[in-house]
Amino acid sequence: MRILPALLTMAAPVALMIPAPVALIASAPVALIVSAPVALIASAPTAHGAPCPDVELIFARGTSEPVGAGRVGQALAGQLAPQLGGRSLGIYGVNYPATYDFLAAADGAADATNRIAAMSQQCPSTRYVLGGYSQGAAVVDMLVGIPPLGDKVGEIGSAPPLPPVLADKVAAVVVFGNPSAKFGKPVSIAMTPFAGKGIDLCNDGDPICSQGRNPFAHTSYEKTPLVGQAAGFVSSLL
């Protein structure tokens, strides 16, 4: 997927259980500052005997970010956990290269699909939130059936959407700095079974998801109110 070879900024298999409240630091892929216990969950699927999370955030990081859910994914989890009314939150960092070989973003969509399929066998009651930032947002586009570059290149570099039996387990979809939004295809227009479940957030001036010209607007989502807006949207659907 040849996505604007500059600035796409994005994680791999790390799953964490966060009971709430919790604060996550964004400077390291798995670093946490917590006020409640944090239990590691095996990356795929849940380890034998490990508790099933009530909610799992499956988040695809941006280009060149270290393995994990990335700084935006961690920030989202930190703001979402306290809004879940005591329900537990697991975090899974999508396992894909997140390099400038954008065609490999399709690997992330396949990994997220496999994660939900595997988890569903052991944790049938867990609900899922799909999330992504930059190239990771393009991964999520594929999962909900949106071409990652809108109609510019069609299905080139894309991957199949989630099968219906797995898609029905997704409660919400949230993306930041989504390339397809620049071409009029935000996740909020996704069809059933994702209709009404998606929010597509673009920072003012971000050239990746809008006609803006401020490259720094693409690299600071975790510091903006958009993360809180996303957390509020997601919690309202859970």
Domain boundaries, the chain: 15-237
Which residue in the list 88, 134, 180, 188 is annotated as catalytic? 134
Which residue in the list 54, 141, 200, 206 is annotated as catalytic? 206
Q: Is 134 a catalytic residue?
A: yes
Which residue in the list 180, 210, 218, 235 is annotated as catalytic? 218
Listed in order, strand segments (DSSP E) in the chain are 15-18, 22-24, 32-34, 39-41, 55-60, 89-93, 127-133, 170-176, 198-201
Q: Is 218 a catalytic residue?
A: yes
Please state which CATH class domain 15-237 belongs to: alpha beta
Question: Range with the lowest mean pLDDT among 26-30, 152-156, 196-200, 228-232?
Answer: 26-30
Q: What pTM value is reported for the model?
A: 0.81
Q: Is 101 a catalytic residue?
A: no
Residue 5 banded pLDDT, cuts 50, 70, 90? very low
For 80, the enclosing helix (H) or strand (E) is helix 70-80
Q: Which whole number is the average pLDDT over 170-196?
A: 95
pLDDT of residue 51: 86
Q: Is pLDDT above 80 for 12?
A: no
- Summarize pLDDT for 46-79 with one digit per residue, the tens: 544 568 999 999 999 999 999 999 999 999 999 9
HSE-up (13 A, CA, CB side) for residue 139: 37
- Summarize pLDDT for 103-153 with one digit per residue, the tens: 889 999 999 999 999 999 999 999 999 999 999 999 999 999 998 765 554
pLDDT of residue 102: 86
d(CA 124, CA 127): 8
- Summarize pLDDT for 77-94 with one digit per residue, the tens: 999 999 999 999 999 999
